[in-house]
Chain A
Amino acid sequence: MSSDIVDRITAHVPSHGGSNKKLTGVAQFWLVFRYISLFIILAMIILPIYVLVINSFKGPTVYLPDALNLPKHWTLSTWPEAWAALGVPMMRTLFFVVQSSIISAIIGSINGYVLAKWRFRGSKMVFTLFLFGMFIPYQAIMIPLVQFNRAVGLTGSIYVLVLAHVVYGIPICTLIFRNYYAAIPDEIIEAGRVDGASMVRIYRSIMLPLSIPGFVVVLIWQFTSAWNDFLFAIFLTGGSPSLAVATTALNFITGGMQINYGVNMTASFMASIPTLLVYMFLGRYFLRGLLSGSLKG
Chain B
Amino acid sequence: MSKGKSKAHGGITSRWGGFFFVLPSIIAVAIFVYGMIAWTLNISLSNKNSSAVHNPKFVGIANFTGLIHDERFTHAFGNLIKFTVVFIAGTLISGFIMALLLEKGIKGEGVFRSVYLYPMAISFIAMGTVWNWLMNSTHGEGAAGINLILAKLHLSFLQSDWYVSPKSSMYAMALPAIWQMSGYVLALFLAGFRGIPDDLREAARVDGASEAKIYRYVLFPQLSPTFLTVLIILGHISMKVFDLIIGISGKTYITDVLAVYMWQVTFDFTNYAKGAAIAMVILLMVAIVVIPYLRYVNKSEEYN
Contacts and interface: CB of A to CB of B under 8 A. Distances in A.
Contact of B105 (A12, A51, A141, A227): A12
Interface in A263-297: 264-265, 268-269, 271-272, 275-276, 278-279, 283, 286-287, 290-291, 293-297
A290 B184 contact: yes
A223 to B, nearest CB: 11
B298 A128 contact: yes
Contacts of A254: 125, 128-129
Q: How large is the interface on A (under 10, 10 to 19, 20 to 34, 35 or more residues)?
A: 35 or more
Given A51-B134, A132-B290, A143-B276, A269 B184 contact: no
Contact of B225 (A120, A227, A296): A296
Contacts of B266: 142-143
B139 interface: no
Given A65-B144, A143-B272, A137 B286 contact: yes
Interface string A236-274: 000000000001001100110000010011001101100
Contacts of B6: 186-187, 189-190
A42 B25 contact: no
A2 B188 contact: no
B93 interface: no
Interface in B1-35: 1, 6-19, 21-22, 24-26, 28-29, 32-35
A231 B240 CA distance: 11
A113 B236 CA distance: 28
A155 to B, nearest CB: 15
Interface of B: 1, 6-19, 21-22, 24-26, 28-29, 32-37, 39-40, 43, 94, 97-98, 101-107, 109-110, 112-131, 133-134, 136, 138, 142-145, 148-149, 176, 179, 182-184, 187-188, 190-191, 194-195, 225, 229, 233, 236, 239-240, 242-243, 246-247, 250, 259, 262-263, 266-267, 272, 275-276, 278-280, 282-283, 286, 290-291, 293-294, 297-298, 304
14 contacts: A16-B105, A48-B131, A107-B25, A110-B21, A115-B22, A120-B18, A140-B279, A140-B280, A140-B282, A144-B36, A231-B243, A255-B250, A276-B122, A296-B229
Interface of A: 1-3, 5-6, 8-18, 31, 34-35, 37-38, 41-42, 44-49, 51-52, 64-65, 67-68, 107, 110-111, 113-121, 123-124, 126, 128-133, 135-137, 139-145, 148, 167-168, 170-171, 174, 182, 186-187, 189-190, 193, 199, 224, 227-231, 234-235, 247, 250-251, 254-255, 261, 264-265, 268-269, 271-272, 275-276, 278-279, 283, 286-287, 290-291, 293-297
